Amino acid sequence: MSDSSLTQSVIERYASVARKGEQLCVPDGYDMEALATYIPQPVLQIANGCGVPVGLGTVRAGETVLDVGSGGGIDCFEASRLTGKDGFVIGVDMTDEMLEIARNSAAAVAVNLGYAQSNVEFRKGRAEKLPVDDQTIDLIISNCVINLAPDKQRVFQEIYRALKIGGRFTISDVVADTSIPNYLLNDQERWGACLSGAMYTRDYLRTIRATGFVGVHQVNVAPWGTIDGVHFSALTVTGYKVAAPNSFFPNEGIFSEYAVFKGPFKWVVDEYGQTFVRGLWRKIDQKTSDLLHLEPFRPWFLFSNDKVLGKMLNDDDPELLQILPADKPCEWKGNFATMTSLFERAEDDDHHQFESGVPIEICSKTDDVLATSQYAPFFYILNRAQQPVSSEAVACSPNGECC
């Protein structure tokens, strides 16, 4: 199927959704009662997201926000409330029927929020060619749209282009635990239903990082459905633009300070390909310092200007986070762990090596470790068993090779 016929079928599908007031999927996490106090019913009725990219503390007062694939406008209107009247929100969609409902509701939302005039503008356009100037947006959001686009790399390049340096995105989208087989990729019906166009999580995160984004991390994740053994998830992910496209960093290689990784992993590889061993102080340049001082990294590192190069903190140092598995038998229950946050690769204290976005099978002991508050933000745990598993317990020590 060509990209243009796919896009045409998506337009027709969402035009019909808008005309009929359909809700194909009930978005999880919204307080619909609260939204109904200021957003007209026709908008809420066609909310077809897979997450809440606009919530979760993402939007800041006074910001310029752009919503890619804004549909009936639900996230734009919530963003409008959160930016306040001094902020500005742009919704972009390619389906006229969706734009009409959104535009018809903007004035009522402004009145309900007590604004003298609406701070939301809906523009017709494609995610692959956003109708905005370079580097003009603080925050880009999107809810269950990029999976519908045939060329996801192009969409992320556009998002990168539109964001200011220092800007960020928070995107909810459907991803899969493996590559989508060709017979599903050609299934127009399931593509339009936000399934077949989903990318393998590994490739999704790689595409985002290859565009230039850093600090890419999971904000939320939930199961979304299974087809023929392919597991789909609704992933909300955030990332930062810290430099202009293809720019070189003038501060690269220039010594800035010392940093040490606190854990919980034994070692990690960051998005610039540098390895940090838990407890081992190393020199970092200005570019790395800027990265590690971003909000999502800060809790996991200590910084110093003193000469601590090569010094090693003991694993029992109170500053470090080390979580060993319990010394008890492990059981295989069908659980798989996918690392989705901040690092390209990492290893825990029980020999598991994780690669960003790649599920690896874990036993009950590792499941307990990854459920701790220190590890949980980095992982999505998915059960791939089709029915409950009663596995045999395997005796193994924390340093054993069995799990």
| Residues that bind ligand SAM in the complex, under the rule CB under 6 A | 10, 14, 47-49, 69-72, 74-75, 93-95, 98, 126-128, 143-145, 148-149, 194
Pick 90 or 363: Cβ nearer ligand SAM? 90
Q: What minimum distance in Å lies between the beta carbon of 45 and ligand SAM?
A: 10
Q: Residue 350 in contact with residue 324, Cβ under 8 Å? A: yes
Q: What minimum distance in Å lies between the beta carbon of 92 and ligand SAM?
A: 6
Pick 127 or 358: Cβ nearer ligand SAM? 127
Q: Residue 193 in contact with residue 24, Cβ under 8 Å? A: yes
Report strand pairing: 335-339 vs 275-277.
unpaired
| Tokens at 249, concatenated | 């960093």
For residue 342, give the 3-state DSSP assignment: coil
Pick 176 or 321: Cβ nearer ligand SAM? 176
Pick 24 or 320: Cβ nearer ligand SAM? 24
Q: Residue 237 carries which side chain, given as an amino acid letter? A: V
Please state, in angstroms and rounded to a whole number, the distance separating the CA atoms of residues 41 and 181: 38
Q: What minimum distance in Å lies between the beta carbon of 57 and ligand SAM?
A: 19
Q: What minimum distance in Å lies between the beta carbon of 65 and ligand SAM?
A: 13
Could you tell me which of 132, 168, 136, 137 has the C-alpha nearest to residue 57? 168
Pick 65 or 144: Cβ nearer ligand SAM? 144
Extended strands (E) in 85-159: 88-93, 120-124, 137-143
Q: What minimum distance in Å lies between the beta carbon of 1 and ligand SAM?
A: 15
Q: What minimum distance in Å lies between the beta carbon of 50 and ligand SAM?
A: 8
Q: Read off φ and ψ for residue 107, nearest 5 degrees.
A: -65, -40
Q: How far is CA 194 from CA 146, 222, 234, 339, in A?
A: 9, 15, 10, 23
Q: What minimum distance in Å lies between the beta carbon of 106 and ligand SAM?
A: 15
Please state, in angstroms and rounded to a whole number, the distance separating the CA atoms of residues 76 and 364: 42
Q: How far is CA 391 from CA 319, 330, 332, 369, 386, in A?
A: 37, 9, 6, 19, 14
Pick 10 or 216: Cβ nearer ligand SAM? 10
Pick 42 or 377: Cβ nearer ligand SAM? 42
Nearest residue to ligand SAM, by Cβ distance, number only:
71
Please state, in angstroms and rounded to a whole number, the distance separating the CA atoms of residues 5 and 11: 10
Pick 51 or 215: Cβ nearer ligand SAM? 51
Please state, in angstroms and rounded to a whole number, the distance separating the CA atoms of residues 22 and 181: 28
Pick 227 or 394: Cβ nearer ligand SAM? 227
Pick 4 or 305: Cβ nearer ligand SAM? 4
Please state, in angstroms and rounded to a whole number, the distance separating the CA atoms of residues 366 and 167: 36
Q: Read off φ and ψ for residue 18, nearest 5 degrees.
A: -65, -45
What burial letters (b/e) apply to 210-224, b meaning 16+ CB within 10 Å?
ebbbbbbbbbbbeeb
- CA dihedral sign, ordered 389, 395, 397, 402: negative
Please state, in angstroms and rounded to a whole number, the distance separating the CA atoms of residues 257 and 306: 8
Could you tell me which of 169, 130, 131, 167 has the C-alpha nearest to residue 149? 130
